[in-house]
Chains A and B, each alone.
Chain A
Amino acid sequence: MPSTIDIEPLAEDAWLVRFGDTIDPDINARVHAAAQQLRERMPEIECVPAYASLLVRFDATRWRGDEDALSPQHQYDTLRSMLANIVTTTDASREVVIPVWYGGEAGPDLSVVAGHTRLTPDEVISRHCAVTYRVAMLGFAPGFPYLLGLDPALAMPRRADPRLSVPAGSVAIGGNQTGIYPQALPGGWQLIGRTPSKLFDLHAVSPSLLLPGDRVRFHAIGQDAYEKLMEERG
């Protein structure tokens, strides 16, 4: 672990571990490795991974005094020693393939993105499908993945006038990131397609299809396949 790691108390029951201050795949991989290993050793804590930082939350109401194992000094020492031994091992993360119907009514901004990037709509689609992304973090709304790895040629400013409601499943580009709206939400990202995959299901054992650290690939499908998959989903 590089020595740049910084542990800061955020609140009485929470520490923020900073691994850097940029959006960088290597830094983000360290965040996920740390989250996984801390969870294994301390199942009672809550971890919130972000691009370059990790929130670690204890239960402060159980703390009784300075000598307690939950005292801040003890928590800090425990975190410090565990983080010193974190290794970013070979990538054992899952890969999830997301089928996407690009363009048309599913992706009303595809032509705008094509115009801005001086690519044809088909080139935008093939570049969007060509890379493997990483779920940097989930936030904004339950199950909303912030994906790292967008082809820089596809970077595109957000809309000046955000939509009041973006349809569930919309696949979108915002700046140099891409993401998927799990449910109908207001949003300013450019919509290039829509997936029939259910991103967030409250009643599933694992409610979020994607987890922080997962690898993601997009696979282009046509409107017919989209509708068939939506039917099967029920």
Chain B
Amino acid sequence: MSVLVIKPGLLTSVQDGGRAGYAGLGVGRAGAMDWPAWRLANALVGNAGDEAALEFTLLGPTLRFEQNAVIALTGADIDAHVDHHRIPTWTCCALPAGSVLRLGGMRHGCRGYLAVRGGWATPVVLGSRSTDLHARIGPFDGRSLQANDQLAIGASDACAWLRPADATHVLPWGLDPQPWLDYHNGPLALMRGHHFDALDAASQHAVFNTTYTISKDSNRTASRLDHASLSLQQPLELISEATLPGTLQLPPSGQPILLQSEAPVTGGYPRIGQLAAVDLARLAQRRPGDTVCFRETTLDESLQRLAQRQERLQRLLRHIAQRQSEE
């Protein structure tokens, strides 16, 4: 009893909240790129929160459920069909055994999440089920899903508010994707980095006054930003130090690199900025060809926004749990 991958989609991988605690050994966190969307997908199926979901990119997978399942789709706005009937996203659906779930292209955004009640029961590697595609760590030896892969579903109590029947059954309520899914190409908040002052004057101005394009060479490790050429006053001889998701690096090409979920744990390029943590999810939803621009922020403002988002998310999670208990 499991779920069979019929078509893997463009890039689909198992992700949870990430692999914390091994950065000192050279192992990064990986994990869901749009953290709130991943967390809310789990909440909609009644998971405790840290279960693994499938993260898919631009084009979703086609899956056959060999067993009854309760699922939720969040993240980017995607075409989802079960046996030729359209199903909504940002809600909860019960699928009978034998259902084929077809996820198509995305109208907006870049990454979506599929959570299943009980979670995807792939093996835990170094404390996490996240796939690190770069280091090849995690489920399926750290690779993305392929056709004919089988995914097991973890054990769970019966879903009190939605029981699988003979036909697909959709919960009569769902979540407003706003503000969690941000379609607007508004500026992302960036703090100045340690080497910002080493940029020449024109480049310091350009960081916050350029509209960049996300390169097609972007992936879960980093978004490369086209249409920019930033330069230093003079070359810097740096030694490697820790990097994080959100670090904006400047390699010698002058084309900045914004590190993402699979950021390497160390790097030796000048560090010109750090993206506000709350904007990592917005960055995750920009696709190659989309634009990015930055506004300057401070650590204090970024912390306030992070605390506000956490509070809003906690409120929504409580609300979901309450609605589920009332059904």
How far is A183 from B136 in the complex, measured between Cα atoms in Å? 10
B247 to chain A, nearest CB (A): 8
Q: List, sorted by A's number, 29 A–B pairs whose CB atoms are closer than 8 Å.
A: A10-B242, A11-B247, A12-B276, A12-B303, A12-B306, A13-B277, A16-B194, A35-B24, A46-B20, A48-B266, A49-B24, A50-B242, A52-B239, A54-B242, A55-B242, A55-B244, A72-B303, A138-B24, A138-B265, A139-B265, A140-B266, A141-B26, A142-B22, A146-B240, A200-B25, A202-B137, A207-B22, A208-B25, A211-B25
Is there a chain B Cβ closer than 8 Å to A41's Cβ? no
Chain B residues with CB below 8 A from A54, complex form:
242
Query: Interface readout for A200-213 with B: 1 if CB under 8 Å, 0 if not?
Result: 10100001100110
Is there a chain A Cβ closer than 8 Å to B125's Cβ? yes
- 8 A Cβ contacts from A135-157 to B: 137-144, 146
Known contacts A72-B303, A202-B126; is-contact A212 B24 (Cβ 8 Å): yes
Chain A: CB-nearest residue to B26? A138
How far is A57 from B266 in the complex, measured between Cα atoms in Å? 14
Q: How many A-B residue pairs have CB under 8 A?
A: 112
B93 to chain A, nearest CB (A): 29
Q: Which of A11, A53, A55 contacts B277 (CB 8 A)?
A: A11
Chain A residues with CB below 8 A from B22, complex form:
142, 207
- 8 A Cβ contacts from B228-258 to A: 238-242, 244, 246-247
Chain B: CB-nearest residue to A49? B24
A34 to chain B, nearest CB (A): 13
Is there a chain B Cβ closer than 8 Å to A191's Cβ? no
How far is A10 from B137 in the complex, measured between Cα atoms in Å? 26
A21 to chain B, nearest CB (A): 7
Asked if B24 and A46 make an inter-chain contact with CB atoms under 8 angstroms apart, the answer reads yes
Known contacts A137-B266, A142-B135; is-contact A10 B274 (Cβ 8 Å): yes
Is there a chain B Cβ closer than 8 Å to A84's Cβ? no
Is there a chain A Cβ closer than 8 Å to B209's Cβ? no
How far is A10 from B194 in the complex, measured between Cα atoms in Å? 8
Chain A residues with CB below 8 A from B137, complex form:
142, 202
Chain B: CB-nearest residue to A71? B303
Is there a chain B Cβ closer than 8 Å to A9's Cβ? yes
How far is A144 from B265 in the complex, measured between Cα atoms in Å? 11
Chain B residues with CB below 8 A from A208, complex form:
25-26
Q: Which 3 A-B pairs have the closest CB atoms?
A: A55-B242, A139-B266, A138-B26
Chain A: CB-nearest residue to B135? A142
Known contacts A51-B241, A139-B26, A202-B137; is-contact A12 B264 (Cβ 8 Å): no
Is there a chain B Cβ closer than 8 Å to A14's Cβ? yes
Asked if B125 and A23 make an inter-chain contact with CB atoms under 8 angstroms apart, the answer reads no
Is there a chain A Cβ closer than 8 Å to B21's Cβ? yes
Q: Which of B239, B240, B266, B299 contacts A12 (CB 8 A)?
A: B299
Chain B residues with CB below 8 A from A202, complex form:
125-126, 137
Please choose the segment from A58-66, A87-95, A219-227 that sits at the chain B interface, where 4 or more of its residues have CB less than 8 A away.
A58-66
How far is A211 from B264 in the complex, measured between Cα atoms in Å? 18
A93 to chain B, nearest CB (A): 14
Is there a chain B Cβ closer than 8 Å to A22's Cβ? yes
Is there a chain B Cβ closer than 8 Å to A123's Cβ? no
Asked if B125 and A16 make an inter-chain contact with CB atoms under 8 angstroms apart, the answer reads no
Asked if A50 and B25 make an inter-chain contact with CB atoms under 8 angstroms apart, the answer reads no
Chain A residues with CB below 8 A from B306, complex form:
12, 60-61, 63
